[in-house]
Amino acid sequence: MKMIKEHSKKKGLPPGTLLHIGNAQQEKATVVLMEYSQNTFLEKQECHIQDVLKTIPQDTATWYNIEGIHDVELVEAVGRELGLHHLTLEDIVHSGQRAKFEDYDNYLFLVMKMLRYNTEKHQLQSQQISFVLGKGYLLTFQEDNWDVFEIVRERIRKKQGHIKQHGCDYLAYALIDAVVDHYFEILEYFGDTMEDLEKELLSHPTQQTLNKIHIIKRDFVLLRKTIWPLREMLNQLQSDDSELLASETRLHLRDALDHTIQVIDALESNRDLVSGMLEIYLSSVSNKMNSIMKVLTLIATIFIPLTFVTGIFGMNFKTMPKLQTGWMYPWGFWIIIVTLTTCMMAYFKKRNWL
């Protein structure tokens, strides 16, 4: 529900102060290093960041993945070492960013959201991921300790695909592509859910169905807020004239942009479909009401006049003559009853109610 994460915590502080805004993390932040070139490969878990940043090798691509942006001191240390602007550092630790791209001449800064659908909690999970792409290195800052990058890591380890032949810019593209691919996965999940929901809707819609539709709509609002800015961001990135991006990478970024537009298209189409489902639900409620009313009206309009007839014959008039004659009861009474019922039925048939 909350579209704004405790931004107000920052209120009392000068713009230049680093303060982590987001879900509090208990664990210590960890740093993973991956260094590779055409022929070499090195992976180091939990390394000390200041040490490894001291000398960044220029002939290999080095990826520093930092998990845990709540460790503000660490982020500050990295910033000092690499000469990052303090606004960059603030954006990294403040986890409410909109996807954006900024070119600070000596490095490129990107921030976006990684999404996954937690099938256990039946919840959409979102995490901020920031990229700092400099000469020969790529820094990534994760908010949480899960990510969608294992595929890319495997590719580096196994020397698969084009990744080894390119530099850090291509690595950044590969990571962005992994994030966007995950958006597809989430939309597939929602597509399946909606298919189930539609079957439910057409067979036996309940208030529960409505709540499910409502939750999907809410998740789509969140998805939209997350994915739309990415389009603009990738567009800017792809047409940026920084020397840090090879022209081959630009071509791949255009491809990632195409994928993002596909995701947006699919999302918008799904939003339309969900609106349609809501209409179906509402009109099925109306139809149900109609059929309930029909039954009530049928029963009432048949039996209320009949009861009136029995009421007449139940009156205590001493002088009601017909009550005395024997043929009246079995014939006269039942003739009245049957005639009345038949007329009513005929009327209902004519009005298409049976």
Rounded to whole angstroms, the Cα distance separating 316 from 244 reads 106
Candidate residues 3, 39, 54, 243; the one interacting with a second copy per rule CB under 8 A: 3
Determine which helix (DSSP H) or strand (DSSP E) holds 51, and give its type and residue range: helix 49-54
Q: Which is nearer to a second copy, 50 or 269 (CB)?
A: 269
Q: How far apart (Å, rounded) are the C-alpha atoms in residues 184 and 186?
A: 5
Nearest to 119 by CA among 14, 60, 171, 189: 189
Q: Does 247 bind a second copy (CB under 8 A)?
A: no
Q: Per-residue x/- mask for a second copy, residues 43 to 82, rule CB under 8 A? A: ----------------------------------------
| Rounded CA separation 293/203 (Å) | 20
**By CB under 8 A, is residue 118 in contact with a second copy?**
no
Q: If you search the block for the tokens 């099938």, which residue do you land on?
A: 119
Nearer to a second copy, 77 or 266 (CB): 266
For a second copy, which residue of 30, 77, 98, 235 counts as binding (CB under 8 A)? 98
Q: Which is nearer to a second copy, 242 or 262 (CB)?
A: 262
Q: What is the DSSP letter of 139?
A: E
Applying CB under 8 A, which of residues 77, 82, 280, 336 lies at the interface with a second copy?
A: 280
Strands 100-104, 107-118: pairing kind: antiparallel
349 binds a second copy (CB under 8 A): no
Give the number of C-alpha atoms closer than 13 A to the C-alpha of residue 146, restricted to the C-beta side: 10
- The C-alpha atoms of residue 54 and residue 333 are separated, in whole angstroms, by 108
Judged by CB under 8 A, does residue 231 bind a second copy? no
Rounded distance between C-alpha atoms, residue 175 and residue 151, angstroms: 9
Query: Which residues are within 8 A (CB) of 262 and not within 5 positions of it... i.e. 6 or more apart?
Result: 184
Restricted to residues 164-223, the positions that interact with a second copy (CB under 8 A) are 173-174, 177-178, 181-182, 184-185, 187-188, 191-192, 194-195, 198, 202, 204, 207, 210-211, 214, 217-218, 221-222
Q: How far is the CB of 301 from a second copy (least distance, A)?
A: 4
Inter-residue contact 38 to 26 (CB < 8 Å): no
Q: Which is nearer to a second copy, 27 or 192 (CB)?
A: 192
Instruction: Work out whether 2 is an interface residue with a second copy (CB under 8 A).
Output: yes
Count helices and strands (H / E) in the chain.
Answer: 8, 7
Q: How far is it, in rounded angstroms, from Cα 274 to Cα 291?
A: 26
Q: Does 83 bind a second copy (CB under 8 A)?
A: no
Q: Can residue 38 be called a binding residue for a second copy (CB under 8 A)? A: no
Tell me which of 56, 246, 261, 345 binds a second copy, using CB under 8 A: 261
Residue 285 C-beta: closest distance to a second copy, Å: 5
CB of 58 to a second copy, least distance (A): 25
- Residues 305-324 interacting with a second copy (rule: CB under 8 A): 305-308, 310-320, 323-324
Nearer to a second copy, 83 or 191 (CB): 191
Is 335 a binding residue for a second copy by CB under 8 A? The answer is: no
Choose between 52 and 328: whose C-beta lies nearer to a second copy: 328
Sequence-distant (≥ 6) Cβ neighbours of residue 139 within 8 angstroms: 64, 66, 78, 82, 130, 131, 132, 133
- Round to whole Å and give the CA distance between 234 and 232: 6
